Amino acid sequence: MLKKLVIMTLPFLSITATAETQPPQNQYNQFYSYYQDKAKEIVNKMTLEEKIGQMTLVSISQIKNEKEGLNAIEKYNIGAILADGNDMPATPSLSDWQALSRIISSHTASTQHIPLLLGTDAVHGNQHVANAVIFPHNIGLGATHDTQLIHQIAAWTAYDVKLSGFNWAFAPTVAVVHDFRWGRTYESFGSNPNWIQNFAREYVLGAQNIDNTKHILRGVLTSTKHFMADGNTDNGIDEGNVTTTNNEQLRNENYPGYIGAFSAGTGSVMISYSSINHIPLSVNKFYLDSYLFKKDTLDPHFDGFTVSDYAAISKAARGKPFHETLANSINAGMDMIMVGQGDLYYINNDPALIDHSASLSAFQAAILYDVNLSDQDPYKISQQRIDEAVTHILQVKLAMGLFNSQQPKLIPPQGDENKIALQAAEESLVLLKNDQKGNTPAIPITAKIKHILLLSPPDYSLYDDIGTQCGGWTIKWQGMRGNKYTDENASSILTGLKKLAPANVYINANEPLLIDEYTSSNTIAIALLAEPPYTEFMGDVDNDDNGFYEINHNQLENGLFMQFDDFTLTKIKRLKEKNIPIITVLISGRPMIINHLLRSGNDSDAPLNISDAFIAAWLPGTKGGEAIANAIFGNYHFRNSETANTLPFPWPKDIKQVKTGRLVCDSIRKDSDPVPMYECGYGLAT
Ligand code: BGC
């Protein structure tokens, strides 16, 4: 079977694969099952209720809502807790998180005293914690092409997660983005599956820090997500459907990230909300079997446990009784269920379930109900399947050393974390345009600049807004604007410029523009365009989704179109008359439409055309401002190889190209696919 698969995929791989993208030898194929006997020994001593508890993952707020509070962990034998998007202690300070995680971990479920997994969405640093170092989102890391850097970032993220008392990171996202209307585009490393394979491998190696000789995972457990093809849904609809008649293509275009993560021994995989040919992955036995569980045919293969996404069972149920979908999911191979408020609501509406209270007891009763069905019932969950799921989970817990009386000492990874964040932000910037005047390019700025004019109405505060630079999944689920939760190590564009600007330079946003003092040799203007923070389906745009997730996200009403408002445009035009260079910086979670080819009207008003230099900065994190200032003033020089500062996907000319869903890197482009404005790997050097 494996041979057949390899031969079938050869034409694709032969075009795109380089030596470094071949799946590396997997020394971790048996890393977790090494603990199988020990895990089974524990399972044999457990009651059915205790086993069901191990399969239950609930959020901090849900546990607190139970009438027993945190004691519900013992009562329901809970195996794992997560900080969901908006969970927070009294304040999000490190010490408050540490105190909270300490209290939670002092509760151990079941008579077997099985320690808890504590999960968090550390998708770009330990983002729930105030003053944490926030790295660029994956879209920017993709542009760095720097696998070593990604390894270091993952190691630092893992260190920070552990420091806050958590031991499981819901990362890396290895989605391959196919359509930029997708609100999670920035969580993807790009659209080249083979690059993503390498990035995923390094991320997992860095975060988990496995000591293979001692058989111990010293870092944090990773959860590679969202299996699979979450970035390939029709029209880029988050949690949507992938229509396909070609499994080989689906695999080639979406699976390599998993190969990378499996080869590094990822200990868990989160299953996607999305569907393939209308069967939600949460219950999709065919895809789970074929690409996760067939150990004899998959090399490298997955050896950890599977976990559902938040409230995914009720989302997959789509009106069918909850207990049926739950059985379908567990029988398809779901080992752990992330319970959400939606689930409790659905359970209440399932006539078969006797316990109608919206509480954890109802969820667990639903599993029990299925276990107790007759063998002939299609929704029967066998005891054997329960034992298998719990064995998978316990194997991982054992490999993490959670049962050991002494936990490994927390040793900071190499390097200075803030410097690594700065390096990542610098390497992630992509220079799309850099006009020359005579022999002098617009950037780096070499002239003695006395005036920097910032243009960004209606809101100049964007220049001093680290929250916008960080994007979604920062402190809260949807991210937050402003600098409330950052410290002096973080840098907005304003602080970055001020740090570099010589003494006689002032940042001047509001001065009248026509004063004679401003000349082309002593003044530059910086124009800032930014998407507001958003997360998941809240960031979907332009995709004509009339379904459940259609949203009125006013802030994103322009969809992928980016344009200057009239006020800024007037200023820009007057400055251009004086030959003052305009450098435009774009903060965004995806490539935007910046030359408006399909928009009628005055094309010369489009941001790309009207700027002398144009920098795509993505969501560069807490060091983003300093990185941007360094790049403009030549303290950092853009590179243009596959090592940094180049696009990890093709940049669309217009929305029509995006809507084809076939805007792909040239290496896998077919004749019928559109040719983008900028190719994968494009980026100017300075
Ligand atoms: C997201 C996951 C995330 C989970 C827990 C879900 O809504 O799809 O990526 O890990 O929430 O916060």
Using the mean position of ligand 1's atoms as its centre, give its distance from the Cα of residue 339 in Å: 11
Ligand 1 site, residue 267, Cβ cutoff 6 A? no
Selected residue with higher pLDDT from 437 and 35 = 35
Closest residue (by CA) to atom 5 of ligand 1? 84
Locate tokens 């008649």: which residue?
245
Mutation pick for ligand 1 pocket among 128, 269, 309 (CB with most ligand atoms within 8 Å): 309
Ligand 1 site, residue 239, Cβ cutoff 6 A? no
Ligand 1 site, residue 187, Cβ cutoff 6 A? no
Write down the pLDDT at residue 667: 80
When pLDDT is cut at 50, 70 and 90, the band that residue 5 belongs to is: very low
Ligand 1 site, residue 309, Cβ cutoff 6 A? yes
What would the mean pLDDT of 80-86 be, rounded to a whole number? 96
What would the mean pLDDT of 171-183 be, rounded to a whole number? 96
Ligand 1 site, residue 310, Cβ cutoff 6 A? yes
When pLDDT is cut at 50, 70 and 90, the band that residue 598 belongs to is: low
Using the mean position of ligand 1's atoms as its centre, give its distance from the Cα of residue 270 in Å: 9
Separation of alpha carbons 535 and 538, rounded Å: 6
Separation of alpha carbons 602 and 600, rounded Å: 7
Ligand 1 site, residue 473, Cβ cutoff 6 A? no
Q: Are 626 and 495 in contact (CB under 8 A)?
A: yes
3-state class of 607 per DSSP?
helix
The per-residue pLDDT for range 46-59, each reduced to its tens digit, is 999 999 999 999 99
Other CB atoms within 10 A of residue 515 CB: 10
Where do runs of H (alpha helix) occur along 578-665? 607-610, 624-632, 655-659
What values do phi and psi take at 220, rounded to 5? Answer: -115, 150
Write down the pLDDT at residue 651: 97
Selected residue with higher pLDDT from 422 and 669 = 422
Starting at the earlier edge strand, list the strands of the sheet with 117-120: 305-307, 268-271, 221-227, 168-169, 117-120, 80-83, 56-59, 337-338
- Check whether 467 has a pLDDT greater than 70: yes
3-state class of 64 per DSSP?
helix
Write down the pLDDT at residue 9: 31
Ligand 1 site, residue 230, Cβ cutoff 6 A? no
Closest residue (by CA) to atom 11 of ligand 1? 310
Using the mean position of ligand 1's atoms as its centre, give its distance from the Cα of residue 228 in Å: 14
Separation of alpha carbons 256 and 173, rounded Å: 12
The per-residue pLDDT for range 542-579, each reduced to its tens digit, is 887 655 444 545 567 788 999 888 888 888 988 999 99
Selected residue with higher pLDDT from 363 and 514 = 363
What would the mean pLDDT of 387-400 be, rounded to a whole number? 98
The per-residue pLDDT for range 202-249, each reduced to its tens digit, is 999 999 999 999 999 999 999 999 999 999 999 999 999 999 999 999
Using the mean position of ligand 1's atoms as its centre, give its distance from the Cα of residue 341 in Å: 13
Of 126-130, 161-165, 203-207, 520-524, the poorest mean pLDDT is in 520-524
Other CB atoms within 10 A of residue 103 CB: 12
Write down the pLDDT at residue 642: 67
Ligand 1 atom nearest to 84, measured from its CA: 12
Separation of alpha carbons 638 and 581, rounded Å: 19
Closest residue (by CA) to atom 2 of ligand 1? 309
Separation of alpha carbons 106 and 160, rounded Å: 20
- Check whether 10 has a pLDDT greater than 60: no
Q: Are 304 and 260 in contact (CB under 8 A)?
A: no
Mean pLDDT over each residue of the chain, to the nearest integer: 90
Ligand 1 site, residue 674, Cβ cutoff 6 A? no
Q: Which of 348, 346, 330, 335 is nearest to 302 (CA)?
A: 335
Separation of alpha carbons 673 and 659, rounded Å: 11
- Alpha carbon of residue 100 to chain centroid: 25
Ligand 1 atom nearest to 226, measured from its CA: 9
Using the mean position of ligand 1's atoms as its centre, give its distance from the Cα of residue 12 in Å: 32
DSSP per-residue codes, 433-450: EE-EETTEESSS--S---
Separation of alpha carbons 267 and 275, rounded Å: 23
| Residue 21 DSSP label | G
Separation of alpha carbons 386 and 384, rounded Å: 5
Using the mean position of ligand 1's atoms as its centre, give its distance from the Cα of residue 369 in Å: 27
Write down the pLDDT at residue 472: 97
- Paired with 125 in beta bridges are 123
Highest mean pLDDT among 149-163, 443-457, 653-667: 149-163
DSSP β-ladder status, 436-437 and 440-441 = antiparallel
Residues 6+ away with beta carbon under 8 Å from 471: 137, 186, 479, 531, 533, 534, 589, 619
Mutation pick for ligand 1 pocket among 222, 307, 310, 549 (CB with most ligand atoms within 8 Å): 310
CA diameter of the chain: 88
Separation of alpha carbons 349 and 322, rounded Å: 8
Ligand 1 site, residue 84, Cβ cutoff 6 A? yes
Using the mean position of ligand 1's atoms as its centre, give its distance from the Cα of residue 172 in Å: 12
Q: Which amino acid is at 286?
A: F
* Helix, strand, coil in percent for the chain, rounding step 5: 40, 15, 50
Residues 6+ away with beta carbon under 8 Å from 315: 239, 273, 280, 282, 342
Using the mean position of ligand 1's atoms as its centre, give its distance from the Cα of residue 128 in Å: 13
Separation of alpha carbons 307 and 223, rounded Å: 8
Ligand 1 site, residue 121, Cβ cutoff 6 A? yes
Alpha-carbon distances, residue 39 vs 112, 245, 268 (angstroms): 11, 40, 16
Q: Are 236 and 51 in contact (CB under 8 A)?
A: no
Please give, one letter per residue, the 3-state secondary structure of 392-406.
Answer: HHHHHHHHCCCCCCC
Of 12-16, 265-269, 349-353, the poorest mean pLDDT is in 12-16
The per-residue pLDDT for range 295-309, each reduced to its tens digit, is 888 889 999 999 999
For CA atoms 244, 249, 251, 253, give the dihedral sign: negative
Ligand 1 atom nearest to 85, measured from its CA: 12
Ligand 1 site, residue 227, Cβ cutoff 6 A? no
pTM: 0.94
Write down the pLDDT at residue 11: 30
3-state class of 593 per DSSP?
strand
When pLDDT is cut at 50, 70 and 90, the band that residue 23 belongs to is: low
Q: Copy the structure tokens of residue 645.
A: 């500062």
Closest residue (by CA) to atom 7 of ligand 1? 310
When pLDDT is cut at 50, 70 and 90, the band that residue 18 belongs to is: very low
Write down the pLDDT at residue 553: 52
Using the mean position of ligand 1's atoms as its centre, give its distance from the Cα of residue 310 in Å: 6
Closest residue (by CA) to atom 6 of ligand 1? 310
Separation of alpha carbons 499 and 568, rounded Å: 25
Ligand 1 site, residue 146, Cβ cutoff 6 A? no
Using the mean position of ligand 1's atoms as its centre, give its distance from the Cα of residue 309 in Å: 6
Ligand 1 site, residue 542, Cβ cutoff 6 A? no
Q: Are 316 and 283 in contact (CB under 8 A)?
A: yes
- Check whether 12 has a pLDDT greater than 50: no
Q: Which of 606, 601, 602, 558 is nearest to 582 (CA)?
A: 606
Ligand 1 site, residue 626, Cβ cutoff 6 A? no
3-state class of 278 per DSSP?
coil
What would the mean pLDDT of 270-286 be, rounded to a whole number? 98
Separation of alpha carbons 491 and 198, rounded Å: 30
Q: Which amino acid is at 3?
A: K
Separation of alpha carbons 654 and 273, rounded Å: 29
- Check whether 320 has a pLDDT greater than 70: yes
When pLDDT is cut at 50, 70 and 90, the band that residue 110 belongs to is: confident
Ligand 1 site, residue 85, Cβ cutoff 6 A? yes
Q: Are 627 and 620 in contact (CB under 8 A)?
A: yes
Q: Are 255 and 290 in contact (CB under 8 A)?
A: no
Using the mean position of ligand 1's atoms as its centre, give its distance from the Cα of residue 273 in Å: 10
Write down the pLDDT at residue 556: 76
When pLDDT is cut at 50, 70 and 90, the band that residue 24 belongs to is: low
